[in-house]
Amino acid sequence: MPEPLPRTAWLEKPGVPCEPDPAARARPLRVVLLGAPGVGKGTQAELLTARRRVCQLSTGDVFRAAKAADPCHRSPALEEALGYMQRGELVPDETVIAIVKERVACLRCDGGFLLDGFPRTVAQAQVLDQLLADEGLGLEAVLSYELPTARLVARLGGRRTCSNCKSVYHVEARPPARDGVCDRCGGPLVLRDDDRPEAIMVRMRAYEQSTAPLADYYAARGLLVPIVAEGTPEEIYARAEAALEQRTAAVAAAQR
Ligand code: AP5
């Protein structure tokens, strides 16, 4: 598997100069990955990144990177955000929006972006529209991954994440070669705080109340692309690529 992109400007040091991958620059992708917790957005982002060399901009990863960093460097707002996350609740819009605005250079990147976990509310989607419009940019599509709730809970309960490089496994569907050890870096695999059963239920409710309405928001703008999230990660990835190709062809035909 190719090395993951470092994402330093997104995860740790907003504003540091960074060079997009030539493959991504040749064919930049600007998409939002939408879907309930555990549907496989991170797994799909990993496949898209490996093949298109485009950065995965995950707000959840920003919070987790902050949690792993020296607590002395956390602002009170970030400290509060980590509490919401641990309980499975959404972090308040103003905190999330401030974090994304600090990283706006990643949105204007010539190599494009995969937004994963942002936007999660209609208020966040409106801010994203404005940030992109200010840069003269727009989204190519919103890939909306769909799976019944019972399957989501099973995916989350079996997830194990590398505490070092953050690679994602599943005890049954995607086990590591050695129990509890990351194939990529040898780091220990752990259960995320918010993958405990009580936090999973809170996350599902937050999704239904705040994030599910985004499907209507993007459908009304002609951007929503539903993707059935059943099957292997590769099968789901192939469905998404085919849908993106179809959209590109339709846009090109409409412009002729
Ligand atoms: P975030 O990190 O964004 O988490 P999430 O949306 O809940 O999504 P997950 O990372 O849990 O799941 P995923 O869809 O990426 O699935 P994965 O690929 O890992 O957010 C975490 C928290 O941060 C939020 O709850 C909130 O508190 C806060 N937050 C973040 N952004 C915010 C925002 N914008 N506003 C407010 N708050 C915000 O897959 C899951 C498992 O399934 C894995 O084990 C995987 O191996 C397995 N799997 C994947 N695909 C398949 C398959 N096809 N078949 C079988 N197993 C599979």
pLDDT of residue 67: 84
**Does the pLDDT of residue 20 top 90, yes or no?**
no
Average the pLDDT over 35-55 and give the result: 94
DSSP state, 69? S
State in Å: Cα 149 to ligand 1 middle: 13
Which of 92, 51, 68, 73 lies closest to 161, judged by CA?
68
What's this model's pTM, rounded to 2 decimal places? 0.94
Choose which residue among 10, 61, 91 to substitute to test ligand 1 binding: the one with the highest number of ligand atoms within 8 A of its C-beta.
91
Give the closest residue to 114 by CA, choosing from 254, 237, 216. 237
Q: Give the model's pLDDT for residue 72.
A: 80
Pocket test for ligand 1, best of 78, 97, 159, 162 (most atoms within 8 A of CB): 159
Cα–ligand 1 centroid distance for 75 (angstroms): 24
Ligand 1, atom 49: closest residue by C-alpha: 40
Residue 1: band (very low, low, confident or very high) from pLDDT cuts 50, 70, 90? low
Q: Which two tokens stand for residue 191?
A: 């259960």
Per the prediction, the chain carries an average pLDDT of 92
Lining ligand 1 with CB less than 6 A are 35, 37-43, 58-60, 63, 84-85, 88-91, 96, 117-118, 120, 124, 155-156, 158-159, 168-170, 173-174, 194, 203, 232-233, 236
Range of lowest pLDDT (57-66, 74-83, 141-150, 164-173): 74-83
What residues are labeled active site?
41, 120, 159, 192, 203
DSSP string, 117-150: S---SHHHHHHHHHHHHHTT---SEEEEEE--HH
C-alpha closest to that of 19 among 1, 31, 32, 7: 7
On whether the CB atoms of residues 194 and 201 are closer than 8 A, the answer is: no
What pLDDT is attached to residue 73?
76
Whole-number CA gyration radius for the chain: 18
Which CATH architecture does the domain made up of 8-146+223-255 adopt? 3-Layer(aba) Sandwich (3.40)
Helix/strand/coil for 196: coil
Residues 27 and 140 sit within 8 Å (Cβ to Cβ): no
Q: Give the pLDDT confidence score for residue 251 in this predicted structure.
A: 81
List, for residues 199-210, the tens digit of each pLDDT value: 999 999 999 999
CB 200 within 8 A of CB 157: yes
* Distance of CA 186 from the midpoint of ligand 1 (Å): 22
pLDDT digits (tens, 9 = 90+) for 137-178: 999 999 999 999 999 999 999 999 998 888 899 999 999 999
